[in-house]
Amino acid sequence: MAETVLETSGLTMTFGGVTACDAVDFKLKARELRCLIGPNGAGKSTFFKCLTGLLKPTSGAVFMQGEETTNWHTHEISSLGVGIKTQVASVLDGVTVHENIWLAARRFFSSSIAETKAKETIERLYLGDIAKSNVGQLAHGERQRVELGIVAAGDPWLVLLDEPAAGMTSEDVDRMTEIIREMTTTAAVIIVEHDMQFIRSIATDVTVFHQGGILLEGNVEQVMSDETVRNVYLGKKA
Amino acid sequence: MREITLQRFTLSIIIAAALMLFLPVIMNTFVLTPLLIYGMLGMSLGLIWGFGGILCFGQAAFFGLGAYAYAISAINIGESTIPMLIAVMVPAIFAAVLGAMMFYGRLGDVYLGVITLVVTLIFFKFMNSTAGPDYVIGTARLGGFNGIPGFQTLNIPGLPDDYIYGDSLYYVTFVLLVVAYWLVNWLLQSPFGRVAVAIRENEQRVSLMGYDIRARKTILFAIGGAIAGLAGALFANWAEIVTPGLFSLSQTAEIIIWCIVGGLGTRLGPILGAAGLAYLKFLLGQQAFIDNTIIMGLILVLFVLFLPKGLIPAIESVWKLSVGKRRRCHPSRRRKGRAITNG
Ligand SMILES: Nc1ncnc2c1ncn2[C@@H]1O[C@H](COP(=O)(O)OP(=O)(O)OP(=O)(O)O)[C@@H](O)[C@H]1O
Ligand SMILES: [Mg+2]
């Protein structure tokens, strides 16, 4: 049995009167692939931000590989080997694609190994043609892929992807599916997505967020056919 | 890659040496030396602002602190070698402490500007108010608005009677500026410098990569303080007096203008901006028709409106345009050649 690498207990985040995360108990095993779904405003991005220290949770605790990381600084959590792709692409606009990925790798490796890692990652993510371009000039889908490269370059054991397929062409999505599959050989991955097609293609376990809490967890088909889930989420869409 | 940088290094040393020997032919070294010193001061802000994204309104504080630290320790110690080191260390440590308070306190950019400005003003006010006989450090009287005159100026290390002044001070300043410039270049190419630029681009992403931005910004800020302090010490040696005016608001504003006009985010821009504008100010100071602050203001406005990226980027793009035009005739040939070899 794989061990639990990520666990939250009673994780709560309130903004004034809004409770964006409401006592979330969540568990993830090593190399597990989990999709997080839920209507807009359900608190998925807030949950990610609490995990990575971008937000300090109001209450509750986060454990990574058995160690409590609640209230740690973002850079300390990232240094453990946690990579996150934020909902709005967070990249370094003024420098090249290569520099973006090299810097991500350099945190964990020496300069020369980081160079090798960067080259590998650029190849793996089909960024070769634009490696020398400034990220600020790139199209939306390319920026998303650069950010994925930044996440992958540090060989993380936990990967959080917030709507990675948003605004991508189907060709891009296919590539991404392949890359994410590759990632799961070494890392546990959580993906926030609205695209059901995409979720089905990755076919995995799903956690449904609703009003800051976990509504349901289970196999993708089982979750999709669930009455309550249809009501709060799919019902709106279909 | 390495060969190219070595080439560039050698080339720039040759250019610098030629410039160093040529400039005194057309200009008095007494005028040149402060231009170089201002160049160094401009470079210190250019480093932390242009590459680290830290807009400091108090670079004059480190400059003044360096000058005062030199003057005070030179009076107490005599021989100038240790006072020069102290003049670099004091502003560096002060910047490190101030920086740590600001960056670990997660202050926003606006507060950072306000705090650095206020610190400069406090120094200005304080130094102005130290006229009384009670304000003494060792044997050095701070002297209030009259400043501190009559300290031991730069001497050949170990030989306190062999002063470095006039032309020799110019050469020493030039060499120190070139050395500092190359150290800054080296820093910017190192992983530390590359991460600093990344922090300028996107702090959140750099944190998410796992880098501690607070520590890195503090270190960069201290390096900027050290360079400004060295400039201050050299200035004290050139002027042979230090006064509270070093901490003045106009001094701190000028450094910012030098960077904007020269080109923020370039290595040479702030140096050339500083030297150029300081020279212009010197020329304007020799006539009484137009107030030079008006001209300075006008230049800043014109640059912000028409060359917002500054002089060096403008020259670069003109250069690229002309080179690009010349190259445009070649590629067709080159491409054909490649097609043939490939086919
Ligand atoms: N910084 C903030 N300040 C105040 N309220 C916030 C803040 N961030 C998020 N919220 C609120 O918290 C709730 C959850 O937002 P969150 O972005 O986590 O939702 P989400 O599930 O990611 O939605 P989406 O699918 O649209 O991305 C929303 O009601 C949002 O308005
Ligand atoms: Mg979201």
Rounded to 5 degrees, what are φ and ψ at A144? -60, -40
Residues of A with CB under 8 A from a CB of B: 52, 54, 73-75, 78-79, 83-84, 86, 90-95, 99, 102-104, 106-108, 111, 150, 154
Nearest CA to ligand 1 atom 3: A15
Cα(B27)–Cα(B279) distance, rounded to whole angstroms?
Answer: 11
Cα(B343)–Cα(B213) distance, rounded to whole angstroms?
Answer: 51
| Burial of residue B329 (number of CB atoms within 10 Å: 0-12, 13-18, 19+) | exposed
Domain positions in chain A: 1-81+157-232, 84-155
Sign of the dihedral through C-alpha A208, A149, A187, A60: negative
Domain positions in chain B: 27-248
Nearest CA to ligand 1 atom 24: A40
| B125 alpha-carbon distance from chain centroid | 24
**A103-109 average pLDDT score:** 97
For the entire predicted model, the pTM comes to 0.91
Long-range Cβ pairs for the range B99-104 (8 Å, 24+) = B99/B217, B99/B218, B99/B221, B99/B222, B99/B225, B100/B214, B100/B218, B103/B213, B103/B214, B103/B217, B103/B218, B103/B221, B104/B214, B104/B218
* 3-class DSSP state of A85: strand
For B54, half-sphere exposure in the C-beta direction (CA atoms, 13 angstrom radius) is 33
Inform me whether the C-beta atom of residue B320 falls under 8 Å from chain A C-beta atoms. no
**CATH label, A1-81+157-232, candidates 3.40.50.1110, 3.40.50.2300, 3.40.50.300, 3.30.70.600:** 3.40.50.300
In the sheet that A188-192 helps form, which strands lie side by side, from edge to edge?
A82-85, A158-162, A188-192, A33-37, A205-210, A213-219
What residue type is B3 in one-letter code?
A: E
Give pLDDT tens digits along chain B (343 positions): 455 678 888 898 999 999 999 999 999 999 999 999 999 999 999 999 999 999 999 999 999 999 999 999 999 999 999 999 999 999 999 999 999 999 999 888 889 999 999 999 999 999 999 998 889 999 889 999 999 999 999 999 999 889 999 999 999 999 999 999 999 999 999 999 999 999 999 999 999 999 999 999 999 999 999 999 999 999 999 999 999 999 998 899 999 999 999 999 999 999 999 999 999 999 888 887 888 888 888 888 999 899 989 999 999 888 888 876 665 544 444 433 333 333 2
Rounded to 5 degrees, what are φ and ψ at A165? -95, -5
Q: Which residues pair with B110 in a beta bridge?
A: none
Residue B340, pLDDT score: 34
Q: Which residues pair with A24 in a beta bridge?
A: A11
Rounded to 5 degrees, what are φ and ψ at B108? -75, 170
Q: What is the pLDDT of residues A167-178, one digit of tens each?
A: 788 888 888 888
* Closest-CA residue to A102 (of B327, B281, B191, B219): B191
Q: What is the pLDDT of residues A135-167, one digit of tens each?
A: 999 998 889 999 999 999 999 999 999 999 887
